[in-house]
Structure 1
Amino acid sequence: MPCARLTARQAIAAVADTYTETAVPDGHRTSAAASSAPDGPLGWRGYDDARARARSRTGEDESVVTALATIGGRETVVLSFEFRYLGGSLGERTGDRLAAAYTLARERGLPVVSLIATGGSRMQEGMRALTQLQRVARQSALNRAAGLPQIAVLRDPTTGGGWATLGAGADVILALPGAQIGFAGSRVRPPDADPHAYSAEGQLASGHIDAVVPPDRLRATLQRWLQLLCPPPESRTRAVAPAPPPAALGVPELPETGWEAVVRAREAARPRAEAYLRAYFDDREEISGDRCGGVDPGIRCGFGHRDGRTIAFAAQCGTATRPAGFRTAARLVRLADRLGIPVLTLVDTPGAANDAAAEQAGAGAAIADAFAALATAQVPVTSLLIGEGGSGGALALAAPDRLWATPDSYFSVIAPELAAAILKRDEAQIHDTADQLRIRPQDLRELGVIRGIVPPA
């Protein structure tokens, strides 16, 4: 049976080793009284009959089941929606259950995994139902402030307020293939709307979710994410140690001239981010997108294990970094900071993208956001220059006081060709300009820009 169509309990069983349902709260006095009033708080004719039919069909008395579960040996609070109960809609009693589950997670210091399948807020309870979104948003924020990770799994469908709170508000967002995802459900969106925009695949392409995961891989994927984002309790009492810089993978000799440094860094066969990430981590998972409608394939962000500890990473891949890339990196750094996880950045870009599309997408604001994220991080950030260090686009991902370089890299305030053009020098003077800029790794070390030059493995 496709995971998207499982019942609430089947969905939990599909990802958990074991689980025990949590107690159903009595709820606020006013909400309990209103929900138990004839036909609910609005006196909506036929609401009681609809709930009775839903109970008979599903065996549930509400649209969400909450549980304490172990997933890959990690204790977790799980929220699972029953779509067959009034379309998995959120009513007042749903809000009571969700609030109690978030509170339990805070009391026990546990992550929250949401298995979502909902059509949105319950019409038969009107504004009393809609305001549950505020309760859920507050509970999510409290858990975020407590440094507890939240992972959402978007089943089919995930629409309305359930998407705009439990789903889109999670730290890591996974979706099942083909799931309908969007604030507007299929019956209320414009008739000419592109259905791809409301699909898991469309949301991934637009930078709003992190991955589309087939049902047969979901359990293992959740296990890896929980292992990465939930450090052992005893580690939370210790100071966070910085990530060690990776060893150099390219040529070990230092360049003799500035222009030689540029040529080496631009060499197509030079080791890039993927090679460094593969050599550095034992295993890793990646996040995707800036949550603002953009994805930059030229930047890799995520979390990995190295020597038994989790390290977050943001790695430029040698292309001009786009606004979405800077925003994704900033999101990664802030999430790692909140969870107490050290960060490694790999710097490798000719510079920030400067075309019209980049300007329209807010290049300046995105770069500023990346600068701010690194500048304010309380966890240590380690940076390694592995190739081109092109101006502010590279500096935005470079730790202010913990930057190293490989022998086949350079860092410059501006590309030597552009510097020569600005100074009205001819092409023959580009090499001299590169030397004057003092962009070689050994120059950067002498200038105090980097801490040192990393040796090969």
Structure 2
Amino acid sequence: MRWWPMPERLSAREILALVADEATFSELPGRIREPKADGPLGWQGYDASRARATARTGEEESVVCGTASVKGAPAVLIAFEFGFLGGSLGERTGDRLEAAYHHARAHRLPVVPLIATGGSRMQEGMLALSQLQRVARESALTREAGLPQIAVLRDPTTGGGWATLGAGADVVLALPGAQVGFAGSRVRPPDADPAAYSAGGQVAVGSADAVVQPAELRETLGRWLRLLTTPAQEAPAPPALGTAGLPATGWDAVQRARSPQRPRAQAYLDAYFTRRLDISGDRCGGTDPDGMLCGFGERDGRTVAYAAQTGAATRPAGYRTAARLIRLADRLDIPVLTLVDTPGAANDAEAERQGAGAAIAEAFGAVASARVPITTLVIGEGGSGGALALAAPGNTWATPDSYFSVIAPELAAAILKRPKDEVEATAEQLRIRPQDLVELGVIRGIVNHLP
């Protein structure tokens, strides 16, 4: 087994060699301004510091930019050299980054920032900090052009580099043990929890998607690049995996949908895709791994995005993650499959504090405004607006062991002040069976229905 150095020991050239296919990296020349004596502020000793950094690293600036193939997928790679003044951003760094993004858009290539930076260069003052605006604009233009950006967080990823190239990417991967946070170790409060500034900590709160071992980085990046650049034309509804016969009554539909033996989202996704990769988190401090699965998968050699409820009550972070997934897929022209299976949105006090209403509204809005095809399959419980938020208008299907209802029959009976022994009759009145939903025009049809 090959030994890899710790993340902080990887130079720009080492991370490029780790990621790029052999002999495919070609450095971009870029437009680099001539340095002024001791920089734009005339900072005494700055020239000597840059000279030492060049002697130590062999680089003339803190980033190395070029094109390469990653497991056969072409991309623009941006590798930070932390040994050059802490990988800090200055005017010449901004020049190189701008040129790299221009090249990516001109040649329709995805961008992969391999970040290791301590932030903006103090010896250039506000001129250094303003490079973040240049970087943010280039990233935004690349996003508008429909090109994916996949960031890799090395050690350390702090300051403006994290707040632009890192956190602003479509998919965020991190090397294990990397320090990741807006505040670097020298400027944090003395009582700060170091776990909050780690790669694992950022994944836990939904600010990054996954921690990837160095030995697996090229393969993982290659898979992400292929998935985000090979869209399918549509997302056909999956076949039903459970019971084929239709429920006799509304309460029968409810019981079948709630059965522990009924196939859940994981089974449907495994059957539908050859392989898939998950995204994680809402980028607002939350995840919902028990309630929502989101990501991109390969089907017949092309990519379909998915947002799948797992049968649990969906939390606000789940809806926001699904909305993030749908917006990203829409921008990359990738069709979306949504699987509906929830008794409803989480409605506890903590969910309300986390903005349940706003999160559900965000999911409704993402589905309503998407330009790519969205296909929905109700695979279990379709509980109220918490389920409807993921349903594609005019292209929703159902399995025979599912139901879709304005509210759970028990809650409907309670609201109507009916006794418990009238719950089954209430379920029948709600007309929630798959065949009722077809007749009412709520869904297009029942998948794999055997008459």
Range into which the TM-score falls when normalised by the shorter chain? over 0.9
Shift of 1:44: 1.0
Give me the whole-angstrom Cα distance separating, in 1, the residues matched to 2:93 and 2:267.
47
Instruction: Report the AA paired with residue 403 of structure 2.
Output: Y
Alignment of 1:67-82 (within 5 A): 67-82=66-81
Match of 2:193 in 1: 194
Shift of 1:268: 1.1
Give me the whole-angstrom Cα distance separating, in 2, the residues matched to 1:265 and 1:426.
23
Alignment of 1:169-180 (within 5 A): 169-180=168-179
SS, match of residue 24 in structure 2: strand
Match of 2:366 in 1: 373
Segments of structure 1 that go 5 or more residues without pairing to the other structure are none
Matched, 1:281 2:273: yes
C-alpha contact (below 8 Å) 1:19/1:67 kept by paired residues: no
Matched, 1:249 2:237: no
Shift of 1:308: 1.3
Give me the whole-angstrom Cα distance separating, in 2, the residues matched to 1:418 and 1:67.
59
Give me the whole-angstrom Cα distance separating, in 1, the residues matched to 2:397 and 2:93.
51
Shift of 1:26: 3.1
Give me the whole-angstrom Cα distance separating, in 2, the residues matched to 1:276 and 1:4.
40
Instruction: Report the AA paired with residue 109 of structure 2.
Output: L
Superposed CA RMSD in Å reads 1.2
Shift of 1:22: 3.0
Match of 1:102 in 2: 101
Give me the whole-angstrom Cα distance separating, in 2, the residues matched to 1:6 and 1:209.
21
TM-score norm. by structure 1 comes to: 0.96
TM-score norm. by structure 2 comes to: 0.97
SS, match of residue 193 in structure 1: coil
Alignment of 1:70-219 (within 5 A): 70-219=69-218
Regions of 4+ moved over 4 Å:
none
Shift of 1:43: 1.1
**1:302-330 residue CA offsets vs partner (Å, 9 max, x unmatched):** 00011111000000000000110000000
SS, match of residue 246 in structure 1: coil
Matched, 1:50 2:55: no
**1:349-397 residue CA offsets vs partner (Å, 9 max, x unmatched):** 0000001111111111110010000001000000000000000000000
C-alpha contact (below 8 Å) 1:44/1:124 kept by paired residues: yes
Matched, 1:23 2:28: yes
Shift of 1:269: 1.6
Give me the whole-angstrom Cα distance separating, in 1, the residues matched to 2:361 and 2:353.
15
SS, match of residue 19 in structure 1: coil
Match of 2:316 in 1: 323
Shift of 1:21: 3.5
Match of 1:309 among 290, 302, 312: 302
Taking a change above 3 Å as real, the CA distance of residues 3 and 198 of structure 1, as seen in their structure-2 partners, is: closer
Give me the whole-angstrom Cα distance separating, in 2, the residues matched to 1:23 and 1:282.
36
Matched, 1:8 2:12: yes
Q: Percent identity?
A: 71
Instruction: Report the AA paired with residue 69 of structure 2.
Output: T
Instruction: Report the AA paired with residue 80 of structure 2.
Output: F
Instruction: Report the AA paired with residue 427 of structure 2.
Output: A
**1:9-33 residue CA offsets vs partner (Å, 9 max, x unmatched):** 1101101113334333334xxxx35
C-alpha contact (below 8 Å) 1:203/1:209 kept by paired residues: yes
Segments of structure 2 that go 5 or more residues without pairing to the other structure are none
Matched, 1:431 2:448: no
Give me the whole-angstrom Cα distance separating, in 1, the residues matched to 2:87 and 2:394.
50
Instruction: Report the AA paired with residue 198 of structure 2.
Output: S
